[in-house]
Structure 1
């Protein structure tokens, strides 16, 4: 029989320390109620009535392990779920930072995208999709399919299927004719518009802007475009920059722990982004209009809402007015220019300070050049 080492000694009334070969413990209480804690993690609570024979003991082990495979699998799945949630949080944080960085880069590069030039002379000579008074290609194709239709043996037995198939082919003929008529109408309208523009019809300029919507994808950068002119050589544009919606107030970075850190932009940084955004938008507007119409110049007035603290009211003000000519803008290296610096290439009114941003300016008139 092996020897067991165990020693117990009292350190206070009702409190004893028990030392064994592999562990040590502490017990508190008297004969009726006692609570013990062991270094192995086991906790024991006992209660009884002395002399009665009634006694209760509860033992909990700190090192308990799941025994069933289902329970173990559940614990593994729960751990995987926690890891997945952690990864999702990291990915969402990275996405938020990426979106911020993309927005900043976009504000400075709006001018790099532009529509392809429209060749009105080529469009004016374009052949019609088919000869007037004849069937169009889609109607012909659908009619040939209808005329070539031969019901299968199953469709001959079930007459309803044969009727349904024929109705479907007849509807295809009607739809084909409608699509052909629409294509012919579009050709006719485009040909007329092309000839009117080449003939110097100012109203045709505005029809082209309305129908082709050259600045449609810029509505997220500026809205409420207004166009005006009384001369074929230029177009005047007013637009609202909405910098309070487009230029972020805070920069976002990813911390080492994978969380998003937000910090307010300095005034200098905010106003720098605002100026780049406005000037990049102005150059883009000019490029799109030069691509659409045979213009020599585009006069652009950028407006923004400004707070006047002395009266506590917001007011719409012109913050940049510039006359951009086609010849000069074609010479610029648009991939490398700083759009704010590029304004020196054109007659312009802009009052900008690094720590205060834009100040109101007077809109230029084309005669001012």
Structure 2
């Protein structure tokens, strides 16, 4: 029996990967490489709650009627300032409630965001931009501009003809370099696609790093670590940090437009927590299946949990699941309840509506 080596790759919170100009598909096949990294459709809200920006002063009045138009106008201005201040307070309150509702909806809908599937075979068969040894398209265009150049009357008078020609000749050299870079990009694209189709694990990790399919989940503070022993299965460990992601308060507007903030009921908190964790799991699997020719994705969700025997919090596994691509593709991600959807896969999860998650064992990788 041959030896099996386990390789890993880690992405930490706060880390962002920028795809360089030489990265996969930078110049060719870009449309097929990454449609949405989220992104296009990637759904987030940034909210600031500034002060009203309105200052006013008011004095008590005995009901005197002022004859001066300035005094009368001052009273009208004060009245209008008060109305504006109230309106701005209402708008701020509405915005804060909308931000709260949006966050809850977003963390329960993470699984709906996914990049389009990468067609590595199509990329492997992408034709070269030009035949090596021949002139490239950029060089030919630059030469045509030089050959078709005809100096105008003013150029001759001002003796700019030679300067213009030199500029066009310089452009030909620049065009040659652009063609060379395009050809190198194409070679890298084909090589990467070939390696992916051949099941090269190092290339898998390179693709994950450059495409960063889960980078928006890093905004929740989740870190990821990927492990592989064979090209058909990948193992992912990630930290859900539910304490900092799931809100503990419910925000709403009163009938008078005031902001109401109440502690969230425990059952509602744990319900959102479970939806968030399970939604993240399905999203991770969907993105990895879209990016790489995998059959299985093993995902282990970690979170902080109080060990009552020691009094210390520990990082424990709260969900371990084996997602099979063929089964996942049959689910309607727009309408599923992600927590219920775990029943479709082999998984370990202990969850109580009044207590939340309990620690579980990690699933073992099936060979």
Residues 1:114 and 2:125 are matched in the alignment? no
Query: What is the aligned partner in structure 2 of residue 102 from structure 1?
Result: 102
CA offset at residue 77 of structure 1? 4.8
Residues 1:297 and 2:296 are matched in the alignment? yes
CA offset at residue 105 of structure 1? 0.9
**Larger RCO (CA within 8 A; separation ≥ 6):** 2
Cα distance in 1, alignment partners of residues 277 and 193 from structure 2: 32
**8 Å contact from structure 2 (residues 66, 72) kept in 1:** no
1:1-369 equivalence runs, <5 A = 62-68=64-70, 76-138=76-138, 140-141=140-141, 144-145=144-145, 179-221=178-220, 223-367=222-366
- Note closer, same or farther for the CA distance 1:175–1:222 as it changes in structure 2 (3 Å cut): farther
Cα distance in 1, alignment partners of residues 356 and 165 from structure 2: 70
State the Cα deviation string for residues 243-271 of structure 1 (Å, max 9, x = none). Answer: 11210010110112222111110111111
Query: What is the aligned partner in structure 2 of residue 8 from structure 1?
Result: none
Cα distance in 2, alignment partners of residues 253 and 145 from structure 1: 65
Cα distance in 1, alignment partners of residues 348 and 284 from structure 2: 17
Cα distance in 2, alignment partners of residues 154 and 270 from structure 1: 77
Cα distance in 1, alignment partners of residues 262 and 159 from structure 2: 74
- Note closer, same or farther for the CA distance 1:167–1:239 as it changes in structure 2 (3 Å cut): farther
SS in 2 for 1:118: coil
If each structure's strand is expressed as a fraction of its own residues, which one has the higher value?
1
User: Which shifted more, 320-329 or 255-264?
Assistant: 255-264
SS in 2 for 1:367: coil
Cα distance in 1, alignment partners of residues 168 and 189 from structure 2: 32
- Note closer, same or farther for the CA distance 1:185–1:67 as it changes in structure 2 (3 Å cut): same
State the Cα deviation string for residues 153-208 of structure 1 (Å, max 9, x = none). Answer: 77778789x96x88987786666555544433322111101111222222222222
Give the number of the structure whose alpha-carbon radius of gyration is greater. Answer: 1
Cα distance in 1, alignment partners of residues 178 and 213 from structure 2: 25
Cα distance in 2, alignment partners of residues 175 and 280 from structure 1: 49
CA offset at residue 90 of structure 1? 1.6
CA offset at residue 240 of structure 1? 0.9
With the length of structure 2 as denominator, give the TM-score of the two structures.
0.73
- Count of residue correspondences: 307
Cα distance in 1, alignment partners of residues 307 and 102 from structure 2: 32
- Note closer, same or farther for the CA distance 1:75–1:152 as it changes in structure 2 (3 Å cut): farther
**8 Å contact from structure 1 (residues 249, 270) kept in 2:** yes
- Note closer, same or farther for the CA distance 1:123–1:155 as it changes in structure 2 (3 Å cut): same
Question: What's the C-alpha RMSD, in Å, of the aligned pairs?
Answer: 3.1
CA offset at residue 73 of structure 1? 5.4
Cα distance in 1, alignment partners of residues 177 and 304 from structure 2: 48
Cα distance in 1, alignment partners of residues 114 and 132 from structure 2: 36
With the length of structure 1 as denominator, give the TM-score of the two structures.
0.73
